[in-house]
Amino acid sequence: MAEYNYDLIVIGAGPGGYVAAIRASQLGLKAAVIEKDKPGGVCLNIGCIPSKALIHQAEVFRSIAGLKEMGVVIDSSKFDYSVVFKKSRTAADRLSKGVQSLLKKNKVELLPGTARFVSAHEIEIDGKNRVTAANIIVATGSSPRQIPGFEFDEKQVLSSTGALMLETLPKRLIILGAGAIGMEFAHIMNSFGVEVTVVEMLDQILPLEDADSVDVVARDFKKRGITMHTSTRATKLQKSKSGIKLTIEDATGKSSTLDADQLLVAVGRAPNSAGLGLESIGVKLDRGFIVTGDYYETAVKGVFAIGDVIPTPLLAHVAMKEGEIAVEHIAGQDPERRVPSDEIPSAVYTEPQVASFGPTEAKLKAAGMAFEKAIFPYRGAGKSVAVEQPEGMVKVLYAPETHEILAAHISGANATELIHELLLAKKAELLPEDIATMIHAHPTLSEAVMESARVAEGWAIHI
């Protein structure tokens, strides 16, 4: 039998990769992870974490308005966005170092460099050293998707990476694409006083989220002065010294132009599958995504792929779970074959926030599935009024006869935390009546979750 250097090599130290490597080590496998950049991947370095740092700062800044109402005089003339930027980098760097120490603590070797497959069990790093492993997990992630005519220059045309790295704010920003990334930047920039216009091709902002949830965000954003064009395509981009001019076309075919200092293109992310030598060893690709079967194994035995490089939801927590499944399978355990798609939470950190799991109401309708819905508005929970965040709702979609929870959609303050009570119920196969009869502390926003379950059972109190 061939002797390998490692039981497992993971390519990419993003959230999927480093979690997989650590899990492997926990299960007694000798593991290494190859990373060409900083450990932590997009999520920690140029994604979730720094953006959440910016969002936090944005909310601190937004609270100035509330202080003014109380008669507090604040001088914001010396506001310096570069401090905000530096804070976000500090957070990212701290966590990236944290990942390094976690790898070390778990005896996972970090091999810096760019990997390329020589065979199903052998990898060349930076065209020099070769390492072998019994199993290899590809966790190379994704990059901002470019579209022809709107290529990133990171000066006037920004990717999400470029937008995170801004040290000064534009006066006017156009955001192309109203997905989670686009809308989070709209929230950040608007909070710091930037004039924001959002252009979305589909007919609603946050196209993957439930229309009722989106409604809460859209109404709030409109009130805050964010201009949103839905069912609208960007057809032409002109760059000049003074800024950019974007030509857009609405659903009726009517054209108009928008002027701004910068354009953020946030139209999705593309898998990083090129240059790895995947095809040469027989791994199958579909439009750039790696095709996987049970336990995320590719067409080549012993080669697995997880995270953004496969066509599953592009979310760090999905990549982590997929990595755990692949590793547990490699280690001879008996994990679930795939992540159950209806148990994946999504979280959008706008304010109001949006969080959900399972299909939207529109999707259930399109699939012809029987369902019922229970909606409870935030304002029915006293806490939301007390903390001046009464806008929002909890929506539960459930099966008519058994009341099995099919999906939940929450929009409003703390939605990204509140979703988990319903998700635990879904996973443990609890029913709305279990939540309805559980005592929830008063006053909390979680009472809105309890009341939504009571709506399903027909006995909500505060509505």
Q: How far is the CB of 368 from another protein (least distance, A)?
A: 6
Does position 430 bind another protein by CB under 8 A?
A: yes
138 pairs with which residues across the strands?
11, 305
Does position 28 bind another protein by CB under 8 A?
A: no
Which one of 229, 403, 442, 462 is the catalytic residue?
Answer: 442
Does position 417 bind another protein by CB under 8 A?
A: no
Does position 73 bind another protein by CB under 8 A?
A: no
Q: How far is the CB of 405 from another protein (least distance, A)?
A: 8
Place of tokens 């700062």: 57
CB 271 within 8 A of CB 42: no
Tell me which stretch binds another protein (CB under 8 A): 283-291, 316-324, 352-360, 362-370: 362-370
Which two structure tokens, joined as six digits, stand for 362? 């529109």
Does position 38 bind another protein by CB under 8 A?
A: no
Does position 331 bind another protein by CB under 8 A?
A: no
Which two structure tokens, joined as six digits, stand for 325? 């499944």
CB 244 within 8 A of CB 260: yes
The Cα 139–Cα 152 span in angstroms is 24
Does position 403 bind another protein by CB under 8 A?
A: yes
The DSSP secondary-structure symbol of 442 reads S
Does position 336 bind another protein by CB under 8 A?
A: no
CB 269 within 8 A of CB 177: no
Tell me which stretch binds another protein (CB under 8 A): 91-99, 273-281, 407-415, 428-436: 428-436
442 a catalytic residue: yes
Tell me which stretch binds another protein (CB under 8 A): 15-23, 134-142, 364-372, 378-386: 364-372
Q: In sequence order, which residues have a C-beta less than 8 Å from that of residue 363 and are 6 or more positions away?
A: none
Tell me which stretch binds another protein (CB under 8 A): 21-29, 48-56, 95-103, 363-371: 363-371
Does position 458 bind another protein by CB under 8 A?
A: no
Q: How far is the CB of 166 from another protein (least distance, A)?
A: 46
Which two structure tokens, joined as six digits, stand for 426? 């879904």
Place of tokens 């990334």: 181
Does position 342 bind another protein by CB under 8 A?
A: no
The DSSP secondary-structure symbol of 275 reads T
Tell me which stretch binds another protein (CB under 8 A): 16-24, 184-192, 199-207, 396-404: 396-404
Does position 434 bind another protein by CB under 8 A?
A: yes
CA 34 to chain centre: 24
Task: Report the chain's terminal Cα–Cα distance, integer Å.
Answer: 68
The Cα 364–Cα 343 span in angstroms is 15
**Torsion from C-alpha of 203, 205, 207, 209, nearest 10 degrees:** -130
Backbone angles phi, psi at 224, to 5 degrees: -80, -5
Does position 242 bind another protein by CB under 8 A?
A: no
Q: How far is the CB of 401 from another protein (least distance, A)?
A: 7
Nearer to another protein, 342 or 417 (CB): 342
Q: How far is the CB of 352 from another protein (least distance, A)?
A: 30
Q: How far is the CB of 358 from another protein (least distance, A)?
A: 14
- Classify 187 in phi/psi space as left (phi over 0), alpha (psi -120 to 50) or beta: alpha
Q: How far is the CB of 427 from another protein (least distance, A)?
A: 10
Interface with another protein: number of residues (CB under 8 A): 15
The Cα 461–Cα 463 span in angstroms is 6
Q: How far is the CB of 231 from another protein (least distance, A)?
A: 23
Does position 438 bind another protein by CB under 8 A?
A: no
Among 2, 65, 72, 428, binds another protein (CB under 8 A): 428
Nearer to another protein, 293 or 400 (CB): 400
CB 238 within 8 A of CB 222: no
Does position 77 bind another protein by CB under 8 A?
A: no
| Nearest partner of 234 among 145, 148, 166, judged by Cα | 148
Does position 400 bind another protein by CB under 8 A?
A: yes
CA distances from 443 to 6, 334, 413, 434 (A): 53, 42, 14, 20
Does position 365 bind another protein by CB under 8 A?
A: yes
Among 223, 402, 441, 461, binds another protein (CB under 8 A): 402
How much helix, strand and coil, in percent to the nearest 5, is found in the chain? 35, 25, 40
Q: In sequence order, which residues have a C-beta less than 8 Å from that of residue 45 and are 6 or more positions away?
A: 37, 38, 92, 96
Nearer to another protein, 395 or 403 (CB): 403
Which two structure tokens, joined as six digits, stand for 416? 């990204």
Does position 429 bind another protein by CB under 8 A?
A: yes
Nearer to another protein, 335 or 390 (CB): 335
Does position 337 bind another protein by CB under 8 A?
A: no
The Cα 185–Cα 204 span in angstroms is 17
Catalytic residues: 442
Q: For binding to another protein (CB under 8 A), which residues are involved? A: 365, 368-370, 400-404, 428-431, 433-434
